[in-house]
Amino acid sequence: MIGVFVGSLLGAMALGMPIAFALLVSGVVLMYFLGIFDSQIIAQNLINGADNFPLMAIPFFMLAGELMNQGGLSRRIVEMSMTMVGHIKGGLGYVAIIASVLFASLSGSAVADTAALGAILIPMMVKSGYNVNRASGLVASGGIIAPIIPPSIGFIIFGVASGVSITKLFMAGIVPGILLAVGLTVTWTIVARKENVEVQPRASAKEMLMAVRNGIWALFLPVIIIGGLKFGLFTPTEAAVVAAVYALFVGVVVYRELSFKQLFPVFVHAAKMTSVVMFLVAAALVSSWLITVANLPAMVIEMLEPFLDSPLLLLVMINLLVIVVGTAMDMTPTILILTPVLMPLVEAAGIDPVYFGVLFILNNAIGLLTPPVGTVLNVVCGVSKISMEDIMKGIWPFLLVEVVVLILLILFPSIVTVPLEWFTS
């Protein structure tokens, strides 16, 4: 049964089918194999897959990201970071890291954040004499902080697929996201010594104050979201609505860079991105239902039973599996396909599901940087107009440190669990 499901899925993908349709095909093949084919089951599961209240957070966070990019919030974050660290050696690299963290705390989409930041910073870095491969690698590596720091679309999808609290996942991702940023900062400090670049002029106190005043509206948003979640003022779905309304208000009323005429294309673009994700989630529920009916999780548990007595070894095996899958499949389908298979295994081994969710999403985020499918890599290659081979030359030190962070989280679970207890107390 595992061979039939995986074989049909990979076969459909090899024919060039979009992953959502490939999931439906694999579901139909498995239904025929089990002798329970019924088109009504497919239709019902498709509808139920999208009919989920927590999933409403996805369109609103995507809309918030679009409104921030078009309304001037993203550009002001970069300008504010520039006045603080732009004057030191390798300053634009530090700007990229700081801006990546701030962007991540606003939208939660690695692809959207990387595209926006890359379009602003990579041309500036190249013009100042930075190596284009290294600059592109740094921006791409910073982009995957978005699925870790709340609000994370990856955590929302995992929470829906696994039944784990999305609020707890959000809170658990804060420290690992900061660790990624610290790791990138240390690595860039070492790498930047080789750069022979123009140093940006030091900003005056007046310029710095002006940049902070202009960017303060963007900084309020993560405070509102995280504070509201911690104190129980709203759910993650309601937080997404707050983010979208706040970004709309700031773009139209405060910065006045968004006119009502510009809103229609912004809404349309956000709707198109949402439709892709939602159809993928709906199609995955068909496969998820069949995986349960076929009792595949029990088969996987039986196969990996020797590892159940050693949670550490089990986590290592699971993460190696996810790394391999991540080279060939994008983040969202990997979450949707593997979550219903792995969660019974994780629960049987007594591993904290929230802690596992952080490891799982971080591993999937790293998969966005691994060729040939790496979505974030492809986005940055398009922005900087370089080949996949070139960006891999520049990204490897940053990719390596992010893998080191993943290993640290596997070896020391308290890095995730202890701050989580404080944030949720």
Q: What torsion do the CA atoms of 375, 377, 380, 381 make, to the nearest 10 degrees?
A: -110
The one-letter amino acid at 155: F
Rounded CA-CA distance 420/164 in Å is: 14
| pLDDT, average across residues 223-248 | 85
The residue extents of the domains of the chain are 1-37, 53-424
Give the pLDDT confidence of 317-340 residue by residue, as tens digits. Answer: 889 888 888 876 778 888 888 888
Give the pLDDT confidence of 47-86 residue by residue, as tens digits. Answer: 877 777 777 888 888 888 888 878 878 788 888 888 888 7
Between 241 and 294, where is the model more confident? 241
For the chain, the 3-state helix, strand and coil shares in percent, each to the nearest 5, are: 80, 0, 20
Rounded CA-CA distance 64/17 in Å is: 30
* Band of residue 410 on the pLDDT scale cut at 50, 70, 90: very high
Phi, psi for residue 164 in degrees, rounded to 5: -85, 145
Rounded CA-CA distance 120/26 in Å is: 41
**Sequence-separated (6 or more) residues with CB below 8 Å from residue 249:** none
* Band of residue 373 on the pLDDT scale cut at 50, 70, 90: low
| pLDDT, average across residues 145-166 | 90
| pLDDT, average across residues 400-405 | 95
What pLDDT does 418 receive?
92
For residue 151, is the peptide bond before it cis, meaning its omega torsion is within 30 degrees of 0? yes
Residue closest to 220 by CA, chosen among 73, 331, 53, 420: 73
Rounded CA-CA distance 26/272 in Å is: 25
For residue 112, pLDDT beyond 70: yes
> Are 413 and 352 contacting, i.e. CB atoms less than 8 angstroms apart?
yes
For residue 178, pLDDT beyond 90: yes
For residue 372, pLDDT beyond 70: no
Q: How far does Cα 117 stand from its chain's mean position? A: 15
Task: Please tell me the pTM assigned to this model.
Answer: 0.85
